[in-house]
Amino acid sequence: MSDAQLDGVPQGAFPLDESTETADAETVDYDAMSPEEERLIELVGYLVQGIVGHPEEVEVEEFFDDAGTVYGVRVHPDDIGRVIGKEGRVANALRLVVKAAATKTGHHVTVEVLTEDGAQTLVDSQQN
């Protein structure tokens, strides 16, 4: 901008560009899920429904923490053992599949089983 255009404008203030004054402002919904996130939630729900005895009670919730996205899975109390599996093997397999699907989107995801006592993080596949 030339000095002639800045005459009369207080120091530190910038005049609006004429093109931005007339342009329609687009509203962006930052809470809306991307199609990739929706597919990952559907994948988690589909996989867990195939494991449990009460598939109609499977709920998947999305949370965010410092490490990335957390998918919380809530199931019927009788099905918690089925989702975790012996020595966490089913949980590790579930986590592995979801992480593999999430690599396409570039997100870091974790899967947790939500219980009435609090959240239990599924056993990580790197732990022995």
**pLDDT tops 70 at residue 98:** yes
**Looking at residues 82-105, what average pLDDT do you find?**
91
Mean pLDDT of the chain: 78
How high is the pLDDT of residue 33?
75
- Give 11's Cβ-side CA count (13 Å radius): 0
Report strand pairing: 59-65 vs 118-121.
unpaired
Mean predicted confidence (pLDDT) in 85-113: 90
Residue in 105, 79, 103, 84 with CA at minimum distance from that of residue 94 = 84
Q: Measured between alpha carbons, how far is 103 from 57 in angstroms, rounded to an integer?
A: 28
Q: Which has the higher per-residue pLDDT, 12 or 126?
A: 12
What's the confidence (pLDDT) of residue 128?
A: 36
Amino acid sitting at position 119: A
Distance CA 43, CA 33 (A): 15
**Structural domains in the chain?**
35-121 (3.30.300.20)
Q: Which of 27-31, 52-56, 98-102 has the lowest mean pLDDT?
A: 27-31
Average pLDDT over residues 91-119: 86
